[in-house]
Chains A and B, each alone.
Chain A
Amino acid sequence: MSIFNASSPTGNKLRHGLRVLGAVLILTAFVVWFKAGAHTGFTKNRVEVFKVDPITQIEYTDYKESFVMGVEYLAAASLTGLGLIASGFIFARKQ
């Protein structure tokens, strides 16, 4: 009996497991991305810190090393999650 057989207990568990794992991955990615500031651009290795020189009043940009998760991580996690969910359905059809 193959594990791809939907009627088998192992196949059922695998299909459900893949779907749940996919959904959890997508949800986790969104939560982490949102908590990290919901940055809509690409990932940053450093962030801008805006400062003003008190004597000349020049506004200038300094940088602070910091990781800010970008949309490419969100997209990659979402695609992987969708792939896992889709795999669960594909296995179901192979019964």
Chain B
Amino acid sequence: MRKVTATIITLALLSAASLQAESKTFDFDDPKGVNSISFTLDAPLEQINGSGKGVTGKVTFDPDAPETTSGKIVITTGSLTVTNDTMRDHMLGDGWLDAESHPEITFVAKSMSKVETTEKGISAHLAGSFTLKGVTKEIVVPVTLTYLPDMLSARTNGKAKGDLLVIRSNFTINRSDYGIKPGQSTDKVAEVIELRLAIAGAAPDA
């Protein structure tokens, strides 16, 4: 009888441990260059489109408890690019983003709400701290998480096994909130910056 009880307790502990192990950390460093953030500033005289590929960071995600998602995504300011070199130099210069003094744009995820499972994945509202040009603001952004179990192998041509997590989010910020030339040149550089994030993280099997 004691052996049976001990076996049951052991199995219970093992299953509890395996449930806890469902939470995985996904690394968003992407050597393939797919991860990017795109931006649009649609001013009356000019529309500026660009993107940045210097995405890194780690996110902890549990498909059984997506509301516990947390982590940090970093974008290298210097990786932001537009289609005109002169405009890019201006954008990264000290008058605008000041990439030299503020080399990183970060988002630290703190909590999730309104979590729903949809056809596209898990949609939710993600609250966190967004830092741009040294200014940090608490924002809430809509996100869609797509969990792709065992798909890392397909992405690495069989070199690594594991899961993928795709995070998508479209949101807007006001440049004046982050001290980017507030109220200046609004006819050519829009006040509202539309951001589109689409990134995939990998969690290789241990």
* A42 lies within 8 A of chain B by Cβ: yes
Q: Which of A14-22, A29-37, A48-56, A82-90 contacts B (4 or more CB under 8 A)?
A: A48-56
* B41 lies within 8 A of chain A by Cβ: no
* B198 lies within 8 A of chain A by Cβ: yes
* A9 lies within 8 A of chain B by Cβ: no
A-B contact pairs, 17 of them (CB 8 A): A46-B81, A48-B83, A53-B34, A53-B200, A55-B148, A56-B34, A56-B148, A56-B155, A56-B164, A58-B166, A59-B198, A60-B34, A60-B35, A60-B198, A61-B36, A61-B38, A61-B51
Q: How far, in angstroms, from A43 to B34 measured CA to CA in the complex?
A: 26
* B94 lies within 8 A of chain A by Cβ: no
Q: Which residues of A contact B (CB under 8 A)?
A: 41-48, 53, 55-63, 68
* B64 lies within 8 A of chain A by Cβ: no
The dominant DSSP class at the A interface is strand
**Chain B residue contacts of A57, Cβ below 8 A:** 166
Chain B's closest residue to A53 (CB) is B34
* B151 lies within 8 A of chain A by Cβ: yes
Q: How far, in angstroms, from A56 to B155 measured CA to CA in the complex?
A: 8
Q: Is the CB of B200 within 8 A of A45?
A: no
* B187 lies within 8 A of chain A by Cβ: no
Q: Per a CB cutoff under 8 Å, which of A46, A53, A55, A58 touches B83? A: A46
Q: How far, in angstroms, from A68 to B84 measured CA to CA in the complex?
A: 10
Q: How far, in angstroms, from A43 to B36 measured CA to CA in the complex?
A: 24
CB distance from B203 to the nearest CB of A (A): 14
